[in-house]
Structure 1
């Protein structure tokens, strides 16, 4: 068993609903222009089991509707901050990793100079023996499977 961090986009929430969410979960709540994001940290074994458990628990709280699971995307600067190194060090990892046979993960998207999926970067850090987070994050496949499950579920309800 380990700890997972999942990010969900949810519908608009009242202040009362946010308080109830915080009472039952280790969660960070943020709203950006009508979009509310919940970053939930919880224990579990398998990513889909964890996602289903968290969604069910959130939706038991009236007023919460989970729209989708979101990627934890990082810019070069974000990677440096999370890894507690300078941006130049991250750039060096990109070159050195390829030369050493452990290539740094490819960008998830090329927007704004590139953004990376934190789960891939964190896994790479762990594999090459650099400081990494012990918290597990959803992979590309985990996110796709979770969103497929959410979409199929919403069609039947």
Structure 2
């Protein structure tokens, strides 16, 4: 998932160009435009670089990655359990031998990286998302790579003037 320059029109031809190559979802939240691109790859970093290539080829400027952080309610909704069940897991009650992942951020009672929670759910045989998600480390690597290449098109076969 990436933060991109604003895409105001849901029927923007740039989105169609991305959709011709990959599955994607575009969301707008206030002044933030997010695009999720599904890319297979040998590792999450390589898949992320390929996603950026696809977006850039469509004329969409990528600003940074966007970590899929979830609240207790988000976890309950995605795992199809009650918020109380998630509260028990967070407090270490009924979580079994595998402790629940630590929150990534303490804002709003805790925010967790969906990838960490998703892996925890999968290990316990609970409802989870089968698509592999990037780690915080991979997101940081991609952000560093994006920053380093923000004005350098040589990696995409073009040289900046």
Gaps of 5+ in 1: 1-6
Higher strand proportion, which one? 1
What corresponds to 2:36 in structure 1?
Answer: 39
2:122 counterpart of 1:131: no
RMSD: 1.7
Cα deviations by residue, 1:76-116 (Å, 9 ceiling, x for unpaired):
00000100111111112222366x33110111111111111
- State the TM-score, normalizing by the size of structure 1: 0.86
Separation in 1 of the partners of 2:21 and 2:13? Answer: 13
Gaps of 5+ in 2: 154-161
What corresponds to 2:3 in structure 1?
Answer: 9
2:134 counterpart of 1:154: no
Q: Does the 8 Å contact 1:80/1:86 carry over to 2?
A: yes
- List, as ranges, runs of 4+ consecutive aligned residues in structure 1 with deviation greater than 6 Å: none
Cα deviations by residue, 1:98-157 (Å, 9 ceiling, x for unpaired):
6x3311011111111111100000111122232222111111111111111111111545
Answer with 130-139 or 89-98: which moved more. 89-98
How many pairs does the alignment contain? 149
Separation in 1 of the partners of 2:103 and 2:114? Answer: 10
Structure with higher Rg: it is 2
1:141 to 132, 137, 143: 137
